[in-house]
């Protein structure tokens, strides 16, 4: 009976991790500010950012890579303050399209963890990230790291709830993502979603999605 109980607990734990990871976008549990979406007032509340830094960050939008964010930050924030800033402010990284330098910007990630991030590339989903990186860190640290990453959602198969995990996407935009299925090309996405938002926002949204080949 005890063995059966342990087996059931393990199964439930695995299901919980998988369910939480299906969305493909890590849960923002610590209130990380997104460089593309945060207001100037929210940014100004960060002790590492002065007015000039806030204005430069806002002027540089939209950011399609964390490397582009870091380039602006490096001009206005002392290197010694980067880690503290990035515990409050970060652009999620596409696990399948990211540089080693960007991964190392995640607070607390060094060369050893960088190797583990890269070891399992390409990721088929965030569940795989949870499973593989969970071999090296505890659940709390895994949840913290997952805030910084995502795996793009397939436009033709993701659910409404999945789409709403994309930063800045609500029910209305999730509906539009589903409305135009089947998606075939990036140009189609730009044309259809461009009916509702400007070109900068289309580019920001595109980094969170992918059109997988039909099986």
SS3 at position 210: strand
Q: Which residues sit opposite 97 in a β-bridge? A: none
pTM, two decimals, is 0.88
> What pLDDT digit, counting tens, does each position of 57-94 carry?
999 999 999 999 999 999 999 999 999 999 999 999 99
Q: What is the pLDDT of residue 214?
A: 80
CB contact at 8 A, 157 and 34? no
Decide if pLDDT at 1 tops 60.
Answer: no
Beta bridge partners of 89: 33
pLDDT of residue 215: 66
Judge contact between 96 and 152, C-beta under 8 A. yes
Exposure string over 91-103, b if 16+ CB within 10 A, otherwise e: bbbbbeebeeebb
| End-to-end CA separation in angstroms for the chain | 43
pLDDT in tens, 139-176: 999 999 999 999 999 999 999 999 999 999 999 999 99
Mean pLDDT across the chain: 91
């Amino acid at each position: 009976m005890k063995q059966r109980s342990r087996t059931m607990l393990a199964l439930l734990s695995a299901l919980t991790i998988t369910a939480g990871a299906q969305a493909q976008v890590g849960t923002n549990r610590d209130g990380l500010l997104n460089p593309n979406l945060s207001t100037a007032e929210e940014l100004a509340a960060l002790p590492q950012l002065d007015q000039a830094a806030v204005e430069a960050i806002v002027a540089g939008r939209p950011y399609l890579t964390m490397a582009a964010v870091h380039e602006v930050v490096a001009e206005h924030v002392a290197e010694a303050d980067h880690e503290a800033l990035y515990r409050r402010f970060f652009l999620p990284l596409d696990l399948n399209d990211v540089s080693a330098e960007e991964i190392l910007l995640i607070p607390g990630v060094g060369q050893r963890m960088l190797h583990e991030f890269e070891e399992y590339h390409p990721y088929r989903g965030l569940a795989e990230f949870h499973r593989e990186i969970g071999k090296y860190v505890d659940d709390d640290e895994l949840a913290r790291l997952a805030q910084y990453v995502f795996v793009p959602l397939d436009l033709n198969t993701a659910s409404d709830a999945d789409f709403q995990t994309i930063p800045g996407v609500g029910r209305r935009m999730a509906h539009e993502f589903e409305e135009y299925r089947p998606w075939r090309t990036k140009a189609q996405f730009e044309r259809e979603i461009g009916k509702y938002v400007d070109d900068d926002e289309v580019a920001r949204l595109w980094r969170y999605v992918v059109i997988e080949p039909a099986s």
